Amino acid sequence: MTTNEESVDDNLLERFIKSDENKVVNCRSSIDNIEGHKLRHGTDSFPNINERPVDDISIEFFYKPHSITLLLISIGAVIYSAFTRNTTNVEDNIWAGILCIIFFFLIISILTFPNGPFTRPHPVVWKLVFGCSVLYLMGLLFMLFQDYETVRKIFVWIDPSLASFHIDMDKEYGVNCSEITIEKIWNHLDVFALAHFLGWTFKAILIRHLGILWAISIMWEVTEIAFAHLLPNFVECWWDAFILDVVVCNGLGIWVGLKICSLLEMREYKWVSILDIESTTGKLKRAMLQFTPGSWTAVRWLDPTCTYMRFVALCQLVIFWQVSELNTFFLKHVYEFPPSHPFVVARLVLIGVIVAPSVRQYYMYVTDPTCSRVGTQCWVYGAIMVTEALLCIRHGAALFERTQALNILLWLLCQSLVSVLCVYGCVLWHRYFETEKKATSKQCITQLDNSHLDVTLSSGDMVHSTKSMDLLEKKQL
């Protein structure tokens, strides 16, 4: 009887100690989250961001290569299209050949290209995104070696309606700025204002750093002022630029994006296989959740001990983002596209899906010492950004002849200065404010360790006293 009671007491003591140890481990894991993810030294994290493997495959059919089946289907589709279509129209033949090349290139992309850092909803999606980015880069490089008239004729051949459009027909925003009425403000809140808000929400979800986001937001307004003499639609009223753009669209978009990030960080990610779900509603819900992130990692661009290379890399991020935004407006102006043209919208969508894995790969390259090189998708996006800028300079030579050199020099100086000050300010913030969080968390660990020791000792004394009482009762009997 005494042996059983002693074993019960020992089991209770072990459970109590384990539960207390779990509290210490949880608190330490919170410290790890604050200080950043722990790195395994001696390993290269590049494969994980360039071609991340899929974890916990439940339906293996969707993740097998099926390369022979894909080859047979592709050849069958080409044979049917080549031998059944009418070949009398030369333009249709050219279009069919171009589409066939794109089709086979994307098939090869699925088979050979990396999927990058993402696996949801399926790695094939990100392989196709990488393939589309390479195709877009090849198209830009082809246009770079043509003259302006040839490129313009290509666009008119694709869409004949462009022949009758000129950039002077674009909407002007900086007219009669002294007349401020509700109707005029409402007219400025058009579909482009909604796109502006959604764009900044998307940027906030990608970057996830308030200081960097506001630096990019403010510097973009400076960029518009610097290039207003070249791009007429950059001319805005002061209340449009600083109230509607910076405060309403940018500020609200940043707040909503960071709020979404905080909600995704607090979410518990426990995925159940769709095969283990019995109800039809549950299966449909799980299928829809496949289009959401599989996990969410809190980013940490800066820390108090970051090196000067990370400092320089973040300054580059702010400047490169401005150049990428400028490319959008200069391409539209040089080649004379309406703002709502499918070419403009398609490019924005393509750049958006390319930027998502690129930013993640750039973040890992900047913050992870075990990452030996930048990700492939990020490399391709860098080449796209530079090629677009070269296209604007080469084919917009007549436009850049009117450049005011003083404005551009001041813009470059302001960009560099604000980028450095912003990043340095973020470093100081993390150094003097984040350290308080670390001290609080470490104090939490110390207190839990001390309580763990006290509880262990008191529990041991309790068991010892219980055993003494049992011996005393035996002697009395």
Strand partners, 51: 116
Token pair of 22 as six digits: 């779990």
Token pair of 422 as six digits: 């912003």
Give residue 25's pLDDT band: very low, low, confident or very high (50, 70, 90): very low
pLDDT given at position 139: 95
Q: What angle do CA 30, 34, 40 make, to 5 degrees?
A: 90
The residue-averaged pLDDT of 393-420 equals 80
Round to whole Å and give the CA distance between 318 and 212. Answer: 7
For the chain, give the mean pLDDT. 78
Round to whole Å and give the CA distance between 36 and 407. Answer: 41
Dihedrals phi, psi of 45, to nearest 5 degrees: -90, 0
Give residue-wise pLDDT tens across range 50-71: 888 887 777 777 778 888 988 9
The residue-averaged pLDDT of 453-473 equals 46
Token pair of 205 as six digits: 């979800």
Higher pLDDT, 90 or 180: 90
pLDDT given at position 13: 46
The residue-averaged pLDDT of 124-139 equals 95
Round to whole Å and give the CA distance between 349 and 235. Answer: 25
Examine the pLDDT at 72 and tell me if it is beyond 90: yes
Round to whole Å and give the CA distance between 421 and 305. Answer: 17
Examine the pLDDT at 165 and tell me if it is beyond 60: yes
Give residue-wise pLDDT tens across range 369-402: 888 888 999 999 999 999 999 999 999 888 888 7
Token pair of 89 as six digits: 């129209």
Which residue, 251, 236, 246, is CA-closest to 184?
236
Round to whole Å and give the CA distance between 421 and 37. Answer: 27
Dihedrals phi, psi of 116, to nearest 5 degrees: 80, -155
Maximal CA-CA distance, the chain: 114
Dihedrals phi, psi of 31, to nearest 5 degrees: -65, -40
Higher pLDDT, 78 or 413: 78
Cα 125 to Cα 32, 230, 298: the distances in Å are 32, 38, 24
The residue-averaged pLDDT of 304-309 equals 69
Higher pLDDT, 324 or 182: 324
Q: CA Rg, the chain, in Å?
A: 30
Give residue 177's pLDDT band: very low, low, confident or very high (50, 70, 90): confident
CB contact at 8 A, 387 and 141: yes
Round to whole Å and give the CA distance between 299 and 180. Answer: 42
Buried b / exposed e over 388-425, threshold 16 CB at 10 Å, is: bbebbebbbeebeeeeeeeeeeebeeebeebbeebbee
3-class secondary-structure state, position 432? helix
pLDDT given at position 387: 96
The residue-averaged pLDDT of 248-261 equals 91
Taking CB atoms within 8 Å and a gap of at least 24, the contacts of 22-25 are 23/448, 23/452, 24/445, 24/448, 24/449, 24/452
- Give the torsion sign (CA, 246, 319, 304, 41): positive
Examine the pLDDT at 357 and tell me if it is beyond 60: yes
Higher pLDDT, 131 or 368: 131
pLDDT given at position 10: 53
Round to whole Å and give the CA distance between 324 and 362. Answer: 15
Q: What angle do CA 25, 26, 30 make, to 5 degrees?
A: 115
Give residue 464's pLDDT band: very low, low, confident or very high (50, 70, 90): very low
Q: What angle do CA 215, 343, 225 make, to 5 degrees?
A: 30
